[in-house]
């Protein structure tokens, strides 16, 4: 049998035929990319290689995501593909493609020689070349199956295709920003900030070269790290973890739309943060704007965007498969274990945003945590709350070690200065509220989150079924590390979290960890007040 006949008969087999087609696609793209010479003098809208890179790579990424997302329903898609492939004549499309590709390769080399000689290709030449690129790509698609088959598969799975295209575009945008897009993003942010400020401020000046915006005598510069990319990265990472963690309760592929929604939302909130910063600096206090608000308002926007999307996903029938399904009253929920900690962190961020005048705002954090604990009180009542002497002893030791290793024991404190400026009744009242918050509310909020939820969630997705006495070294390490990163003294806090976890596992009750944490905070608070070591209270 002649070799050509053997090859033709072999290509009738679906797997070999599709593999050969994919290899041909990769080969042609590599040949064009290696042979081309980019005419730098051309504007991007005239340059075919700009489109080749942008649309080609975006299409490849989207196709890969589409295939991955379609994998659970692959049997139907593969059957449709094979039916179309069986009756499809691949010889004519292959001949057409090889002819067009030969012309394309010759034209690419010709363009390279023109550009190398210092001449800029004419617009007509570039237009013809772009048409040749499009024709060659179209002929390549027709080799394995008819184009209408591809369109039918996409149309039958249009939601998956839409999400795949969105993810492909995001991958391309993230790749662009990772190279040189931060400067562009900062400029876009500046334009949005200027547009919003111009709605109500009368004297708004913009310096595009320095990326500075000024209202009256107050000026801010949109640096690269103010462009919003940090918030975009955090939101993307957070939502990715969220999608994976709650994948059983979410509707895919539509749940992937939370990623672009979150990215756009956090970028817009970052622009509004800068608007608020400028207005605060102009009309209230420049010091408050550039100190606390500048460093903390980004976290406020991040928390707003991510938790709002979480709430949207869990309560929307479009995103969640369990949104309309009532939960049994006897079943503790993740929100009950996390809500006090969310309230604690939200209050802390708001306090930090008010720096250097943040101390009076401690009452906001106090009330927020208390309200969250009160709201979920029926869930907490079902837990075994008993006093643990082991927990108390362990907490006293942790508190003593925390005081002894305070690195700022000999330095002054802004808290001391603020208290000295208050009347005795105001200072005493503030210390009472701070004492209740530090020794009661904070231990409850943090232990519910890190020992009650994070530790058990690492062990099993259905964390409610995990006993408080079940030991896992991995859960111990992860929950303690996360607890440590919450504090400035991360190593000491991480070790303290490990002690609280071991106490919980030994006594088989979460209340023992709360008692240990509370005892440690009692030692720290009392030492700070009695010996005026205010650095312990921050």
Residue 171 lies in a domain: no
Residue 250 lies in a domain: yes
Whether residue 538 has pLDDT greater than 80: no
Residue 331 lies in a domain: no
Whether residue 516 has pLDDT greater than 80: yes
Q: Is residue 40 located within the same domain as residue 89?
A: yes
Residue 315 lies in a domain: yes
pLDDT digits (tens, 9 = 90+) for 71-104: 666 666 667 677 777 777 778 888 888 888 888 8
What is the Cα–Cα distance from 274 to 49, expressed in whole angstroms?
37
pLDDT digits (tens, 9 = 90+) for 140-164: 878 877 777 778 777 877 777 777 7
Whether residue 169 has pLDDT greater than 60: yes
pLDDT digits (tens, 9 = 90+) for 261-278: 888 888 888 788 788 878
* Owning domain of residue 140: 3-156
What is the Cα–Cα distance from 289 to 45, expressed in whole angstroms?
42
More confident residue, 132 or 10: 132
Respond yes or no on whether the N-terminal peptide bond of residue 356 is cis (omega within 30° of 0).
Answer: yes
Whether residue 178 has pLDDT greater than 60: no
> Comparing C-alpha atoms, which of 57, 60, 62, 262 is closest to residue 162?
62
Q: Which of 122, 156, 190 is the last residue of a domain?
A: 156
Percentage of residues in the chain having pLDDT higher than 70: 72
Q: Is residue 77 located within the same domain as residue 187?
A: no
Query: Token pair for residue 260?
Result: 């672009």
Q: What is the predicted pLDDT for the residue at 30?
A: 66
Q: Is residue 112 located within the same domain as residue 15?
A: yes
More confident residue, 70 or 462: 462
Whether residue 406 has pLDDT greater than 70: yes
- As a whole number, mean pLDDT of residues 480-487 equals 81
Q: Is residue 302 located within the same domain as residue 365?
A: no
- As a whole number, mean pLDDT of residues 293-312 equals 64
End-to-end CA distance of the chain: 86
Yes or no: say if 172 and 57 are a contact pair by the CB < 8 Å rule. Answer: yes
Q: What is the predicted pLDDT for the residue at 511?
A: 92
Whether residue 42 has pLDDT greater than 70: no
């Amino acid at each position: 049998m002649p070799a050509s006949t053997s090859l033709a008969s072999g290509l009738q087999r679906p797997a070999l035929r599709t593999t050969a087609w994919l290899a041909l696609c990769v080969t042609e793209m590599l040949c064009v990319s290696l042979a081309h010479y980019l005419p730098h003098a051309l504007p991007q809208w005239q340059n075919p290689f700009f489109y080749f890179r942008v649309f080609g790579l975006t299409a490849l990424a989207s196709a890969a995501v589409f295939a991955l997302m379609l994998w659970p329903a692959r049997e139907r898609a593969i059957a449709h593909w094979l039916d179309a492939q069986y009756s499809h004549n691949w010889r004519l499309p292959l001949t057409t493609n090889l002819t067009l590709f030969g012309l394309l390769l010759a034209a690419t080399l010709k363009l390279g020689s023109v550009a190398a000689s210092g001449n800029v290709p004419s617009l007509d030449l570039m237009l013809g070349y772009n048409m040749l690129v499009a024709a060659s790509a179209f002929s390549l698609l027709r080799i394995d199956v008819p184009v209408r088959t591809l369109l039918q598969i996409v149309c039958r799975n249009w939601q998956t295709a839409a999400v795949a295209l969105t993810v492909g575009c995001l991958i391309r945008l993230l790749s662009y920003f990772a190279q040189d897009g931060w400067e562009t993003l900062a400029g876009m942010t500046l334009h949005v900030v200027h547009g919003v400020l111009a709605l109500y401020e009368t004297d708004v000046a913009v310096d595009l070269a320095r990326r500075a915006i000024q209202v009256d005598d107050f000026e801010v510069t949109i640096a690269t790290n103010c462009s919003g990319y940090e918030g975009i990265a955090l939101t993307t990472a957070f939502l990715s973890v969220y999608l994976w963690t709650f994948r059983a309760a979410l509707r895919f592929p539509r749940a992937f739309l939370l990623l672009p929604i979150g990215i756009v939302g956090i970028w817009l909130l970052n622009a509004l943060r800068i608007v608020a910063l400028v207005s605060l600096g102009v009309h209230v206090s420049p010091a408050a704007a550039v100190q606390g608000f500048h460093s903390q308002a980004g976290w406020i926007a991040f928390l707003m965007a991510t938790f709002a999307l979480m709430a949207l996903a869990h309560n929307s029938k479009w995103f969640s498969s369990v949104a309309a399904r009532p939960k049994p009253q006897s079943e503790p929920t993740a929100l009950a274990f996390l809500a006090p900690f969310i309230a604690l962190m939200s209050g802390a961020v708001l306090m930090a945003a008010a720096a250097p005048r943040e101390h009076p705002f401690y009452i906001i954090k106090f009330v927020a945590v208390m309200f969250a604990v009160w709201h979920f009180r029926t869930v907490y009542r079902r837990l075994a709350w008993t006093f643990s002497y082991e927990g108390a002893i362990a907490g006293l030791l942790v508190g003593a070690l925390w005081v002894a290793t305070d690195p700022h024991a000999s330095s002054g404190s802004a808290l001391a200065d603020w208290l000295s400026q208050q009347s005795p009744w105001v200072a005493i009242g503030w210390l009472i509220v701070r004492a209740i918050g530090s020794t009661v509310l904070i231990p409850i909020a943090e232990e519910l989150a890190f020992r009650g939820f994070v530790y058990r969630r690492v062990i099993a997705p259905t964390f409610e079924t995990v006993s408080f006495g079940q030991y896992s070294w991995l859960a111990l390490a992860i929950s303690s590390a996360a607890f440590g990163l919450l504090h400035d003294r991360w190593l000491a806090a991480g070790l303290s979290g490990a002690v609280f976890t071991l106490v919980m596992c030994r006594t088989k009750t979460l209340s023992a960890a709360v008692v240990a944490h509370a005892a440690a905070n009692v030692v720290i608070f009392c030492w700070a007040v009695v010996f005026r070591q205010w650095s312990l209270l921050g």
